[in-house]
Structure 1
Amino acid sequence: MSGNQDLTTLLRARTPLLVIESAEEGRVIESFRHAIAQSLRPLFTWSITDGLRRIDMDDDGEHAVPDATMTLTSIKQRTEAGVFLLLDFQPYLRYPMTLRLLREIVLRQAAAEHTLALVGSKIELPDDLTALATPFQMALPDAQAMAALVREEAFAYSRENSGRRVEVDADAARTIVRNLAGLTHADARRIVRKLIYADGALGPADIPGLAQAKFELLDRENLLHFEYETARFADVAGLSRLKRWIQQR
């Protein structure tokens, strides 16, 4: 499943275990902040550095427990159902005590109807937990979001360069926005920032660079070879004959 509306539905349904494979931790947290408003449950994050913290309101720090096993024990003992984002939890999934506590919380054995969400670039669960988990995929930005991202980066460049405005070719900018489709918000931002900061402009000359950068992101295992096609439409085989035929009609 994907999309904020789907996430809201999953939370309102009190889904016990979500698995979210994403490197965009900030966007995941913000999506939960928006979705939690309709589920009427407290929202927490856990990380090894900050422990357990409530993030839907000011946190008084009383739940800041850094240890993963102690954190799960604390969650299990809570009588008020909550939503818990467990960040970078993968290393702890090899410990029998951690897995047992997760199962007991997910199966709601002497526990409230909590929702646990495992968040990380890659989450690998043992078979018994996989059967209980619901995968959730973050929605990719649409064209409107990509256009907003390009504007944000142009404004950022201007602020950092004494008000110098980015020179933008409108047609090229539209092509760039279209070609950003399929990328995550973070990947698209890195590419756009690189294009803008190279020369303070967005124009036709940036399109090959965008294509190569996108290709490299999608071919992380280096199995393919990139070559940007520079041939003009007029060079396509048979086009001259087609043009003569049209003129003779």
Structure 2
Amino acid sequence: MLELYQFEASAYSEKVKLILDYKQLPYKTVEVTPGVGQIELYQQSGQRKVPVLKDGGDLIPDSTAIALYLDEKYPDRPILPTEPRQKGLCLALEDWADESLGIQGRKAMIGAFNQHPNFRTALLPTATPDLLKNLVGAVPGDVLSILGMGVGFGPDSVKEATSILKQGLESLCLMLSSQPYLVSDQPTLADFAVAGLTMYIKFPAAQYVDLPEGICGKGVPGLADDISFQPFFDWRDRLYADYRQTREGAPASSTGPTAINID
């Protein structure tokens, strides 16, 4: 069986799980807890980030590389168009989702963390010990802002990210206003990348991720609750309902190496 080394709340891991579910490929997740202990993952894959897909003796790091590998190795229900123009547009939109929606969405989410401690702790996996949840929730927002400024997540950076995301969501609404999917009349890698990498902006309406039920449908204030972006989020929820498997009980997972990076 395929094994996905992941962080449950990672938007990049979610992108891969959307593709696995769409292709109807059975897999189990191997949860990696943020912290130390990256040696095993590094020894296996040559790098320290997740997601990493294990398929027998093959180890594939990086969500894009995983997507391309899955489409070549398991060609049923393809996610890449064959028509050249559509394929080029698909790959361009997937790259934009990775490099813009994913990165800027994380910055905007950190801005929400600073102001909403409960929102911050809600993103921790449900198995996280209460002590750690309390510690995370107790860190003052202004302290997080100061810390964030050192890694590109200060107030100005968050404001810029929010502005970029507003333009991106508006563009997606326009693209989807007269067609069912972003590139063709069937879902492609572009759709799954955009859907997964907007998870940080607003969580799907149903329980697809191992997070508290109260987080479903919630997201970054000013983006998730902006009615002008609702057509996009409605589209994304339909995509999830059609192709993503909801969680039933605890996820099939096991302990694994630890990684700090989640993309």
- Scaled by the length of structure 2, what TM-score is found? 0.23
- More strand by percentage: 1
Structure 1-normalised TM-score? Answer: 0.24
